[in-house]
Each structure stands twice: as C-alpha cells, then as structure tokens.
Amino acid sequence: FLFAFLGWSNFVQAKLQITTYNLGLATGYVPFSKERAVILPNALKESLRDSKVLCFQEVWNEADVVRISEELKEQYPYQILAPKAQKYSSIAPVCKPKNLFGEGKVITCLRKNCLSKSGDEFTACVSEKCQDAMNLLVGENRLCANALFAQVGKNPAITILEVLNPFKKIGLFSYEGAVGTMLLSKIPFTSGSAQFTDLATLSTTVHRGILSAQIENEGIKYWVACNHLTANLSLAAPYAGPAHSWEEENLVQVEKLVNMAKEKGHDNVKILMGDFNCGLASSNVSGDFEKSCQAIMDQGYSDSLYSKNPDCTYCLDNKIVGMTKEVKSYQLDHTFVSGIEPSLLENKIVLKNNYPLSNGQNVPLSDHYGLNLILP
C-alpha cells in the first residue's frame, strides 16, 4: 500500500498545471478596476500556487504590470511581459469639428446624455446612447473614429482637445499602446525560445500580440502561446479598422497564431491559451466569433472544457458582468492543446469567489473567471 501511495504521489506531481486568466484591469471600461488592482497580486499568489505556467490578459497599466510581476517573481521567476508600443495617426488633427459637433454627432450626443457620468459608467453611456452617432462618424471619418474609440478611460474634455489638436498626432491604441499580456513560469524557458509576436498591423483600437516560449517538464517539450485577441466590440464601438469587421479581424489573428504554431515542429505539445474572444455555442453557453474557435479546432487542437463540460468563463452570475448590459454567458477563455490525447486533459474553472474591496463592494477578482488546464 505504501509503494502504491508513493507511486500515485509521483504521478500527481508529474502533472503540469497551467492557468489562463483575464484580469479585467481595464480602467474606464470594466467596473472597479482600480480597487481590484490593489488586492489582485496577493490573491493571485495564494490562489494559483499549484500552477506552473500563468497567462494573464488585460493588465493594461504599467503600474499594475510591475506590481503583479514583482509580487509573483519569487514563485514565477521566468517572465515575458508584452512591450508597449503606440501607433499614431498619420495626420493632425485626426478629427475635424464637423465630425464631432452638430445634429446627430458624437460630442453633441455625449454632452446631452453622458457628461454627468465618469469612468466605466461614461463609457457604457456612450455605447448605449450614442451608437448611431458613432456609426455616422465611421462613415464620415474612419481614422477619427478609430482615434476617438482608442481614448477609453480618459477624461472626455481632454480627449476632445487631443483629437482636434492640429499640432499633435494622436495614438490609435488604447492604454498608450499596451498589449496587456503576461506569461509567467516556474519552469525555465528554453534558451532563445521566448518571444513577442506583434499583431499591431492586424489590430484596431487595442494593440494585440502573442507571447510564446518553449518549456520542458518531465522530459516533455511544450510550446505555449499566451494571447488576447480582438473582442466583439460591436455593442461598444462600430468597427473602424482595416478588415471588414471585428469578427474578421479576430479570425485573421487566429490564422496568424495557428501558422506560428505550425512552425514549431512536431516534437512539441502545443498549448494556445488566453482570452480568444471567441466561443462555440453549447447547451448552456452562447456562441461568439464561432468561426475563429472552429478554425483552431479544425487544425487538430482540442478544447477539453468545451468537449467535456461546456461552461462559461464570462458569466452572467459574475457580479461585475451583471453590472453591464450583457445578457449572455460565454466561454471566451480557452486552452487549446495539440499533441496529447484529449481524453487525458482536464479543465477546471477557478477564481470564482467574491472578494471585499475598499469601496465596500464584494465582487470577483475580474469580470472573467480563470481557467486551469491539467496535463498528464
């Protein structure tokens, strides 16, 4: 019995557990970002101690990146942090007064409906009350619309002055060009394998990119990629980018990711993880950008959460999600795996507990739940 127990213990220890988690630290867009940022680092350190690899998304502000990186560095000394790089308008001013002011125009609409609000409430108001005005702006001046939508979280008055400033080219990515992803590991990255693949030319409003590296655990080589791909922002802002829609942009990014993975050889188990902003519909989960998720699975990747126990990671029972206008639950967060028999994979949704904030609210750590993957 003792030998059997020791053998089982070694089997358990040999398993590789990884976690993907969208932290939702989008100031001006996701409620309580500033308050949650204060408690997140310690909560992550306590809750994710059994995971060997972590993929975080939506850590937009530099101060939050540094705080989380430093707090987890003892446990996760191997880290890849996405660089920040802004893309600027080709002209200045990027907008003309006639684009913004007048009957049916964006600024006229927000002055009428939203100026009494701030932060994420202001953003939600503009999305709800001024959708027609934003559509009109896209039709009139696509670059102006792109720039305006990228100023999420900023003071509205300052935003207006910046898009009308004839002496300054304005940034076209939100949060000063931050990608917002972090890849942390207890296991060393194979020498020369850590990289950042920039998707700036395939991104609108939000700077997207892929963090990737190779690790080796118990003699098995894994290529891991940490992603946060284009979201379905159609209810928040009309599409003003180089593709035809938010959905098409997401699919182009998925194709880039899958092609990258093909170049990594057949000796690696490949794990694509993160918030893909796509999800297949099931009995209790709504679908969104389904072509993108299906395109990954068509390349031989399995999603064990979807195939074994479909459940949401962006859920209506999450108090933060419940404060928005969302009416559906989705599985937007995934761990797609190739190179391992799907029946051997385990998934578990984690980090669903509520935490007390300094403002008296009691909410989860993010508007997403975390997703654990356990590999043999």
229 or 13, which is more confident: 229
pLDDT above 90 as % of the chain: 81
Q: CB burial class (10 A; 0-12, 13-18, 19+) of residue 164?
A: buried
How large a percentage of the chain has pLDDT more than 70? 96
Confidence check: pLDDT of 54 > 90: yes
pTM: 0.93
Secondary structure letter of residue 303 according to DSSP: -
Q: Would you list the DSSP string of 152-164?
A: TTS-HHHHHHHHT
- Dihedral sign (CA 112, 117, 123, 125): negative
pLDDT in tens, 305-329: 999 989 999 999 999 998 877 779 9
Average pLDDT, the chain: 92
- 196-205: string of b/e by CB count within 10 Å (b at 16+)? beebeebbbb
Tokens for 341? 């028999």
Has residue 120 got a pLDDT over 90?
no
Comparing 265 with 176, the larger pLDDT belongs to 176
Confidence label for 4 from pLDDT (cuts 50, 70 and 90): very low
Tokens of 25: 């630290």
Q: Give the pLDDT of residue 7.
A: 35
Token pair of 338 as six digits = 């190739």
What pLDDT score was predicted for residue 119? 75
Higher pLDDT, 325 or 88: 88
Instruction: Write the CA distances from 269 to 218, 221, 222, integer angstroms.
Output: 13, 6, 5
pLDDT for the residue numbered 331: 97
The predicted pLDDT at position 28 comes to: 86
Burial of 86 (0-12, 13-18, 19+ CB in 10 A): middle
Q: Which two tokens stand for residue 294?
A: 């299906």
Helix (H) or strand (E) holding 363: strand 362-363
Work out the burial of residue 74: count CB atoms within 10 Å of its CB; fewer than 13 is exposed, 13-18 middle, 19 or more buried: exposed
Distance CA 228, CA 332 (A): 10
Report how far residue 316's alpha carbon sits from residue 188's, in angstroms, rounded to the nearest whole number: 38
What pLDDT band is residue 3 in, cutting at 50, 70 and 90?
very low
Angstrom distance (rounded) from CA 220 to CA 64? 33
- Is the model more confident about 157 or about 239? 239
**Calpha distance 77→93 (Å, rounded):** 44
- What confidence score (pLDDT) does residue 317 get? 94
